[in-house]
Chain A
Amino acid sequence: MKPLKTAILSLTHGHTRKYYQTLKENPKLEWVAAQADNAQVKAIFAASPFSAGVPCYDTAEALFAAHPDLEAVVLASDNASHCRQVEECARRGLHILSMKIPTFDMREYDRMIEVVEKAGVVCQIELELHHNPVVHRLKRLVAEGAVGRIRSIQATNITLSPVWAFPWQGVPEPSYGRRVPLAPGDRRFRGGALSDHPHIFDLIRWLTGSDIGFVYAEAAPNIRPEIQVEDMLLVNGKMADGTIFLLDPSWSRKEEKLLVPGPGWEVFPKRMEVNLTISGDAGVLVADCFGPNVYHNGGPNDRYTVQYTYFDEWIGLMDEFHACVRERRRPSIDLRWHRQTIAAMNACYQAISAGAAQDVAA
């Protein structure tokens, strides 16, 4: 199949750099251009060894004009920009790989579905865990009956906070889409850790084959009292099929306030974790999607640190994207599938505000 001419826009999302290697090395892709939303990210891109030979434009319009044969874009931007970018790309017939939160505004969300389907373009949502080998094994074990009928799932998607390197993630408007107080009398606003962590809401849907029935959530005191969005929260609830769940999507691992992520970012040894406990009638699975690893306490801080040994989900993610474009099929995580995940996350915010469980629309 001919390589897919692909560009990456904005460069402001925390996952931006994870695409560089596969865009460069995957022979199914031809990385033709990048666009930077500001001078700082443009400079960071220019400093990357992967940027060699990839022109970087200041506006999407300039990029589109310079590359009329462009076929696909990766939207590496803040959440509030996605709708505008999806509309523009769909209008141009460009296939889209969007970051993991298309939008929290459900009217905007439905508008995105409409324009994408009308244009007949692929719009895949970046939920890279589906290309993680431990998740492959988990899905297979569950399908083979290793735990029997699932009764309870506990899952963590806990990380350090990206707000120092990617400031928009600590600002309500670009992250959540608007400024909404977390709860009456709470000085914090929606747009923090919950807005960054959709994966486990999605995974419990895949593992159970069921929709989310209702959620309850509470925000704990911030461990970063200086930020204006939530960083610690807990969620429980029940699937439509009766499976109960307990989720932690917090930013509970502290970080050094680096402007560019790199060695020494971690304060807590392990900067990111997706762990699951799946309990069923016939057994229990306890899984670490990112372990085991190697460990050191060398530079730059002489601090015990987990050095991850594998992070290759973006390879499979882009392989799927390419295949969907060339074979004209829907990705496994598209806007329609992902809608209930976003609805559940919105319901968590509503639960925090109301102090009561919230049903989640199917």
Chain B
Amino acid sequence: MEKVLSNNRKQQTTVLKRRTRLKKYLPIYMLLLPSMLLLLVFHYAPIFGIVIAFKNYSPFKGILGSDWAGIKYFASFLSDKNFWRVMKNTLIIRLYMLTFGFPAPIIFALLLNEIWSNKYKKIIQTVSYLPYFISWVVAAGIVTSVLSPSSGIVNNILETVFKIKPIYFLVKPQYFRSIIVISFIWKGFGMESVYYIASLSSIDQQLYEASTMDGAGRLRQTWHITLPGLRNIIIVLLVLKLGSIVTIGFEQIFLLYNPVVYDVGDVISTYTYRLGIEKTQYSLTTAIGLSQSLVNFLLVYLSNRTSRIVAGWSIW
């Protein structure tokens, strides 16, 4: 009896605590509400549409009215050699982006951190952010102009300084992937460095002072203080990037590629665009998209676990 009363009292206390917490944090929950609604309406609700991958979907019959097709479309794209070609291109380009694009904002943040003058620091930061805000349509135009064999600055320099004949870079398969990776880094490194710059500001300055007294130089300080201080944010961003390893932004590739570089530049997103939008193969492209998401999810999960084992820290 006493035990029952004690349990009842505990439950009442829990409910009371919950109500107090709710009342206390109500404004915050209200602030969160629009984002949650957005997430529910545009991300969770459409999940039901995944069933299109298993149906012979017709927009005029609707999702529920379309006939079942089973795993026909999965079998279809898995047996299509063109799919494996675009998958290979996607993985290669993504790995290049990860290898060169991931350290770039870290290095930039570290270098920026070394600048003493606040005024110059802010100017450089602002200039580095700017490409992030221009659309890929404009960025692709800039890249095309810069690399133009007739009027591009790169070829002008090659011709005048190095006496090399103009190179039509955008139609050379051997340069195309590099162009994609470099333009990707140029557009995004400034904004990405913001995370690292913010983390750097949270590192205790006393650690640096103490290490200076111990005779540590800049490099040692970077290795022993700065990088460990950035460890958590690096892990978070790396895990998230690994989670999109089979996804490349459609716009960049679509605007820059051309028939000569299809072999090396055609990726999953452009492949699904051709099939889904131009050929209206909705079921097939949904099947591809679903498979991509599953692979990405698996990679996020595995990288998070690996991080926990190796670094002792993980996102969840």
- A and B pair up: no
Q: Show the binding face of A for B, using Cβ within 8 Å.
A: none
